[in-house]
Structure 1
Amino acid sequence: MESLHFEEGAQQQEASNNTDSKRGGWVTFPFIIGSHISLTLVAGGWASNLLVYLITEYNIKSIAATKIFNIAFGCNFLFPIAAAIISDSFSGSFPVVSIFAFVSLLGMIMFTLTAVIHSLRPPQCVIGSYPCETPSNFQYAVIYMTLLLASLGVGGTRFTIATMGAEQFDKANDQGIFFNWYYLTLYIANAISFSAIVYIQDNVSWGLGFGICAIANVIGLAVFIMGKKFYCQVKSKGSPFTSIARVMVAAIRKRNILRSFGSHNYYFGTTEALKMEDDASMKSLRFLNRAALITEDDKQLDGYYARSWRLCTMEEVEALKTLIKLIPLWSTGIFLSISIGISSSLITLQALTLNRHIGPHFKFPAGSFLLFNFLATAISIFIVDRFFTPMWRNLTHRPLTPVQRIGIGHVINILSLVGYALIEIRRLHVVRTHSHTNQPSLVVPMSAFWLVVPLAIVGIGEGFHLPGSVALYYQEFPISLKSMSTAMISLLLAIGFFLSSAIIDLVKRTTVWLPDDINVGRVDNVYWMLTVIGVVNFGYYIICAKLFKYQNIEEHDGDSRSAL
């Protein structure tokens, strides 16, 4: 695979380093990727099987466990944003990764202790038997602290280490090779976690499974620190959020200035006014232009003007405008994240009630079913990039735009929800057919591998909309806010998982669809509800897409700036 020619890239970088004594380059690659593999293995090792652990070892009822599961995953995607702000504004990448890798280790030690020390969890209870002793306040506090440490560890390392890896290279080609290896190893490490680690936890020992993750964490932290003398450490350059806040504050402070001005009255800083005089974007959201309006009060003691909380450059103003124009289109992805969050937790509950045997002796872990979604996403990304996109160009004589790619993902996601609902209808039919007793949590004589079909469809949808979203935000965000582009995806997933927990709680309170024993509930109605909302959300997406105009028109063929 051309993009994975590590040896070739390494040789090129080595030749370059012979004449350049600065740090960084391919010598840092083994340390960064080695620690990345270990820390990804750790994250998948506790997150992939968390729902099963809470239900089987902590006797937490299924729906309550799904809410904890979704909140934990929401934190996994929210904390990277905080880590990026800290890294950009204060410390740089190396201290952030080092500290949070250690925090991750504390979390894995806590997980291991909860698994081996019986007093840290309630007495084990067979699923379906009543009554089961619930965790005490102390035991809840321990598991919540464990989840907090583990989530902080994931949030502070996963994306920050990718940024640090890219910082080691000056050439875009070398950065591209690094990112290909980063994502390849991300998939490989997650595949190991979702299969081997989960199998050990389910069939050998939870303590051993978490213990292996703790050892991997130690290795990852040690490997990362060992490379310190080779790293090129980029100094913090300030948070882009500060620039956004300054524009808003400056515009509000000058809100009473009503008369119109020409472009010569605005502060452009190092940007030439001629480049922006005819820019149509200056005519939109004019209120924000006030932040760059020059007044006598903005003059410094030396007689010059400078950026402050009263005066911003037009470049900063336009950056905020771009962000505001992207928000409606971005907001349509919230429901996608909600549906993924709800289905990823309910799918595990469904798998626990179904026949998971492969042959007479092997029982497929319920927590490993999300592996099929993961594999489908990886395969579909490859197929879309290598086959679907060129075919689209040949048929339409136009490139597949990011907005179109996201839209296809919306449609496929709706189809997956229909698939989930139909399989659940079949599962409930089998439950009613074979249930002759009032025994709760009946194991349904139906293969759990029917769930692979909608999981694969979801993965195909993610193969369209996730890369499309990354491409759109990275392409459209102004240079000063490029570091926020990937954070927008992380924020989407965080909001989605948090809201999915709230929606599950609302459905449980207002309907009978989600009892603790889903065999007597109507999970299919939950999926139908999500399907209807998904259709409405897709209509909203179409409206937003038609109204959206690409700013970086040079990225697209043709003269039209329309997103569709």
Structure 2
Amino acid sequence: MGGELSGNGEAQILPDSARKQGGWTAFPFIAGTLMGSSIALSGWANNLIVYMIEKFHVRSIDATQTFNIAAASTSLLPVIGAILADSLLGCYSVIWMSSLVSILGILVIALTAMLDPLRPQPCQIGSSICQTPSKVQFSVLYSGIALACIGVAGTRFTIAAMGANQFDNSKDQRIFFNWFAVTLYTSMVLGATVIVYVEENISWALGYSLCVAVNVIGLAILLLGRRYYRNVKPQGSPFTRLAQVVIATILKRKVPLSSRAEDYYHQKDGPTENRASMPTKTFRFLNHAALETEGDTKVDGSIAKSWRLCSVQQVEDLKSLLRIFPLLSSSILLCITLPVVSSLTILQALTVDRHLGPNLKVPAGSMIVFILTSTAINLTLIDRFLFPLWQKITRRSPMPLQRIGLGHLFNMTGMAVASLVESKRLKLAQIHHLSDQPGSTVPMFVLWLVPQLVLVGLGEAFHYPGQVTLYYQEFPKPLRSTATAMISVVVGIAYYFSTAVIDLVRRVTTWLPDNINKGRLGNVYLMFAMMQMFNFFYFLFCAKCYKYQSVEEGSKINNESSNAEI
């Protein structure tokens, strides 16, 4: 392997070190760390709505909004951890420090369940009037949620970048991302079933304590595997390099562009294959930044003023980000399905019959397990059966954008099915005159809510790995950690957007009262389905215009060993 990690411009690595570290030897430790963090997150987050309603007497829609904001934070903040990993601390340091913050946050949430003064008194039996939490009680709860969100944000997708950094070729990286997704969703299933069941049926304090324990175990596994990790050193902020292109372009905007490659500045060090001989014609105005003029370079050929002259490679790195931005924007409404369906389905589940027998009742907070299970199972089926069949028929490997497109279709269908199921639930509530009886149970079995969740999970199985692979392979090499966090950023924006839309719907319509038996939740689902339909056409346009930079479109089967896929 030369001195540099192939597929990652994040660091320089000594050949002797590279031979001894990295590869699949490091995977069990990375997977164990991911499992500990994900089980803990799933355990406290998926039941947060129920906890706030039952123990803090928060109104149902307000609890849902709080959950969406917390989920958005755990998705949006990873980009900060990724930037720190790329530019300053490295992946390993960011992960262990974030794990400590996560443990502290979950511990604070656990204390609200353990100590009576940290939560309001229970509602009086037979009374609908409940004590409102004090400012101190709310402050402690929200502080714990904030710390837990910050901790999770610094671990989950930085682990993805750290794992991909252990491998030299895109094939192993693609296999790793598939296993990463399977591990992530399987862990979330465990948290949403075992821990959520303990919280609702045994003790909230015990459930949150288990979250702390598994997070500690995950941190211990990370530390135990330190000797096996490929050590990647950060090389400073890549965003500074991108900003230099913008400033240099502005400063040289009046300098005529040249058609000769020798008039542009090329990096004097680094692998030859990373040097662009001539700037591309797309976003041609940015080529001014690489145009050499008098006084831009020193006698030895190095740059004299970094904010006035950039290399051709720097210019091309910024262009690659600009090219992929439309696809990123189209993913926001694609990812909005998960926050909308997962949170509102909990409110539906609280109103229907959740008994699976005389002694077993499905926790409302565990409904998301159907999405997670569907995703985990379909990920395996897709890579074991569907994609090999695709390759035999087309003689080509499926491309990331094709996976994402299928995800659009299934997510949109899941939202439409959710609207139909809600119409049936609401009709039953009206037939049995339950609209004016808050807390009453609609005679509808909880498994009616499963099809919408399974479809959303199927959509996740297609678009989630597709997006992670696309961003990792198409982003500039110095931004690999940031690339793996981009799907998380998109999900975070989707959560915030869904929160804003739902709040707007509450203000201008009567569709979302506290008692959903008096509302029109089906209209909300249908509205989001229509938004996604128009967004799908926008995605198709963006995908048609996009040209892969790093992914070789239509790679032949004989260049891949399909049986190495999961």
Q: TM-score, normalised by structure 2?
A: 0.88
Tell me if the contact between 1:128 and 1:441 (Cα under 8 Å) persists in the aligned partners: no
2:505–2:511 Cα contact (<8 Å) kept: yes
How far did residue 245 of structure 1 move? 1.6
- Shift of the 246–129 alpha-carbon distance from structure 1 to 2, 3 Å rule, reads farther
C-alpha distance in structure 2 between counterparts of 1:261 and 1:26, whole Å: 46
Alignment of 1:215-254 (within 5 A): 215-228=213-226, 231-254=229-252
Match of 2:121 in 1: 123
* CA deviation after TM superposition for structure 1 residue 62, in Å: 1.1
Contact 1:403 1:468 (C-alpha < 8 Å) held by counterparts = yes
Equivalence for 2:343:
345
What is the CA distance between 1:519 and its match in structure 2? 1.1
**AA at the equivalent of 1:353:** T
Distance in 2 of aligned mates of 1:116 and 1:411: 45
Aligned to 2:51: 53
Q: How many residues align structurally?
A: 540
Q: Which amino acid aligns with 1:38?
A: G
> Larger % of helix: which?
1
Name 1:466's counterpart in structure 2: 464
In the alignment, residue 137 of structure 1 is paired with which amino acid? K
2:161 and 2:480 in contact (8 A); partners too: no
Amino acid at match of 1:515: P
Q: Distance in 2 between matches of 1:452 and 1:273?
A: 50
Correspondence 1:11-410 to 2 at 5 A: 31-125=29-123, 130-167=128-165, 182-228=180-226, 231-258=229-256, 260=258, 262-270=260-268, 276=276, 282-300=280-298, 304-305=302-303, 308-410=306-408
The CA distance in 2 between the partners of 1:517 and 1:128, in whole Å, is 18
Amino acid at match of 1:210: Y
SS of corresponding position for 2:444: strand
One-letter code aligned to 2:310: C
Partner of 1:543: 541
Which position in structure 1 is the counterpart of 2:499? 501
Structure 1: distance between partners of 2:372 and 2:133? 32
CA deviations 1:320-346 (Å, max 9, x no partner) are 112111111221110012232112110
- The 8 Å contact of residues 431 and 442 in structure 1, kept in 2 or not, is answered as no
CA distance in 2, matches of 1:87, 1:509: 41
Aligned partner of 1:438 in structure 2 is: 436
Residues 1:545 and 1:501: Cα distance change in structure 2 (over 3 Å) = same
1:82/1:304 Cα in 2 relative to 1: closer, same or farther (>3 Å)? closer
Identical positions, percent: 46
Which residue matches 1:10? none
Query: How far apart, in 2, do the equivalents of 1:52 and 1:350 lie?
Result: 12
Q: Deviations over 1:184-218 (max 9, x none)?
A: 44333222111110000011110010011112223
Gaps of 5+ in 2: 1-14, 557-566
Q: 1:481 to 1:153 in 2, by over 3 A?
A: closer
**Structure 2 CA distance for partners of 1:325 and 1:413, relative to 1, 3 Å:** same
Give yes or no for contact 2:297–2:305 (8 Å, CA) kept in 1: no
The answer to whether the 8 A contact 1:38-1:219 is kept is: yes
CA contact (8 A) 2:77 2:489 kept: no
The letter for the 2-side match of 1:551 is Q
The answer (yes or no) to whether the contact 1:93–1:233 under 8 Å persists in 2 is: no
Cα offset, 1:414, TM superposition? 1.4
Partner SS for 1:446: strand
Closer, same or farther: CA 39–276 of 1 in aligned 2, 3 Å:
closer
| CA distance, structure 2, for counterparts of residue 226 and residue 388 of structure 1 | 37
- In the TM superposition, what whole-angstrom CA distance separates every residue of 1:32-75 from its partner, at most 9, and x where no partner exists? 44333222221111112111111111111111111111111111
Judge conservation of contact 2:91–2:158 (CA < 8 Å) in 1. yes
* Paired amino acid for 1:309: W
Contact 2:86 2:482 in 1 (8 A): no
CA distance in 2, matches of 1:542, 1:21: 43
What letter is aligned with 1:125? C
Quote the residue 1:521 is aligned against.
519
The match for 2:553 is 555
Counterpart of 1:556 in structure 2: which amino acid? Answer: G
Shift of 1:524: 0.5
Larger deviation, residues 217-226 vs 174-183: 174-183
What is the alpha-carbon distance in structure 2 between the residues aligned to residue 369 and residue 516 of structure 1? Answer: 20
3-state DSSP of counterpart to 2:33: helix
1:401-430, Cα deviation, whole Å (9 max, x unpaired):
322222221111111111000000000001
RMSD: 2.9
Q: What is the alpha-carbon distance in structure 1 between the residues aligned to residue 99 and residue 482 of structure 2?
A: 22
Unaligned runs of 5+ in 1: 1-16, 559-564
Q: 1:220 to 1:249 in 2, by over 3 A?
A: same
The one-letter amino acid of 2:294's match is: E
Residue in structure 2 matched with residue 448 of structure 1 by the alignment: 446
Q: Please say which of residues 338-347 and 214-223 is displaced more in the overlay.
A: 214-223
Stretch moving more, 525-534 or 235-244: 235-244
- Displacement after TM superposition at 1:436 (Å): 5.7
In the alignment, is the contact (CA less than 8 A) between 2:60 and 2:347 conserved in 1?
A: yes
